[in-house]
Structure 1
């Protein structure tokens, strides 16, 4: 297998992209992209695409091409100032731009945490670009909204958000050697957040989409592509209700996969399970 590092230009921004190709990938003379099943994986907060480091090799071993990229705010050359630049519509447009730049007409899309939210919106608006969807932890936005309105569990799990959107959150989260972040997030996610503007950009995803009329900002149509929802019973941020109710918004084959004894950080803690579900969803049989 091989991993190619590439800088991909999308409008005024440059995204850091890694493309993995299995050893037995087919070759097509004169064609830049011979047909090969491709998986695009979107990371969440606060980890960049390194969160999939244990998933990617397993997918390559299964004969799948992989694409991961550091999204808006996480790629240093795609880190605009201004909260409004992090609305979900812009995050989805970045995915479209990366696919177009790589000349990939369709992929199997995987998204964890915030990457899952972007993936649901992408699937609802660009179904023709997908062979399937695997959402990890994060349910359909309408299911999340419904769970917040109807259940104490999800409201409790989401109680950390006001701290993230508050003024001065960056200083509090990085104070005392980032002790607040270290309590909940993977240790290797901390260092990149110390780069100038990095944590502000990451928090701006919350500030742009979880203030004002949240329901309108997160409003998402139904998804009409085959979908797998992976949820873990130890998730501290996202409850069972929003995961299970996601099936109501999928007008295609829907599979619910529950992992036991795993916390929110599924790609890092249960990479084999993620790769297995992705491989299963990629199979035409």
Structure 2
């Protein structure tokens, strides 16, 4: 079910969220039994691209890619994934299992009247994209993943690499009950602000950007919903698979990622039948923010003519 509302070009404070050239609308879609807030732009009859954000972001993390994709002739959907910002935040860790997250995207594609879509994911959005392409290959035309390892590659690295295990310390900490929520909310979400600013190139996230993220984090249930993605991954780990991804895949990796080793990019690309690997030196985990024009151009090249 789709419900359309007014264009969402401004925030609650009146500040612009999207480039003025974008005719984007804020919609609500009921998918997989959960209500998602989705920003939609472009001709409804055009080929479909779905952009999936990661932690601790929301749809706003893909704002720089919307205009180039729409201008090139694509229909673009950018959801707040379940647990985030204006989307529903179901109770219980089990609601955030990877299989539920990828099923959300299957139903989101269907809500547009499409059988297939190009799917692009960053961070946790990339993990969902990997699972979607593995379990529902008939739904994915082309796949692009930005700084998100293939699940099997990641689990292998955790076992084999003490350095990757050290970098993943926060995943274990997020498994604790209630304490991570308290710490994340403390001092006006200072920990989450640092997670953005201190792992990115200086100036990547402006004060206005951070204010918008704080607004998203402050919504009822958002912090627990966001953290439950990590808790579900530990309690209900995705099934390891060595099957190769059928969809032509672009893997993009900011080499200065503080949480994920660059070798994960190479390992992940090996799980694809057809892949193009792009490693960006001196770019952090936040590729969509630090190299937005380059990423948009690379996505357009990978997706091809609409």
- TM value normalised by structure 2: 0.83
CA deviation digits over 1:212-234, x for unaligned, max 9? x64xx352443111001000111
- Residue of 172, 175, 183 corresponding to 1:172: 183
1:284, distance to aligned residue in structure 2 (A): 5.9
1:118, distance to aligned residue in structure 2 (A): 0.4
Structure 1: 5+ residue runs without aligned partners?
Answer: 26-32
CA contact (8 A) 1:8 1:101 kept: yes
Within 5 A, what are the aligned runs for 1:154-173? 154-167=164-177, 168-173=179-184
1:190, distance to aligned residue in structure 2 (A): 2.5
CA deviation digits over 1:236-267, x for unaligned, max 9? 1111121111122112x111101122211121
Equivalent-residue separation in structure 2 for 1:39 and 1:74 (angstroms): 20
- Residue of 265, 277, 287 corresponding to 1:243: 265
Q: Supply the RMSD in Å over aligned alpha carbons.
A: 1.8
Relative to structure 1, the CA distance from residue 209 to residue 236 in structure 2 (aligned partners, 3 Å threshold; closer, same or farther) is: same
Within 5 A, what are the aligned runs for 1:1-285? 1-21=22-42, 33-34=44-45, 36-74=46-84, 76-167=86-177, 168-185=179-196, 186=205, 187=210, 188-211=212-235, 214=237, 217-220=238-241, 221-251=243-273, 253-283=274-304
1:77, distance to aligned residue in structure 2 (A): 4.9
Structure 2: 5+ residue runs without aligned partners?
Answer: 1-21, 197-204
Secondary structure in structure 1 of the residue aligned to 2:145: strand
1:75, distance to aligned residue in structure 2 (A): 5.1
Equivalent-residue separation in structure 2 for 1:173 and 1:18 (angstroms): 26
CA contact (8 A) 1:112 1:138 kept: yes
Equivalent-residue separation in structure 2 for 1:152 and 1:63 (angstroms): 45
Equivalent-residue separation in structure 1 for 2:185 and 2:85 (angstroms): 20
Relative to structure 1, the CA distance from residue 138 to residue 3 in structure 2 (aligned partners, 3 Å threshold; closer, same or farther) is: same
Q: How many matched pairs? A: 270
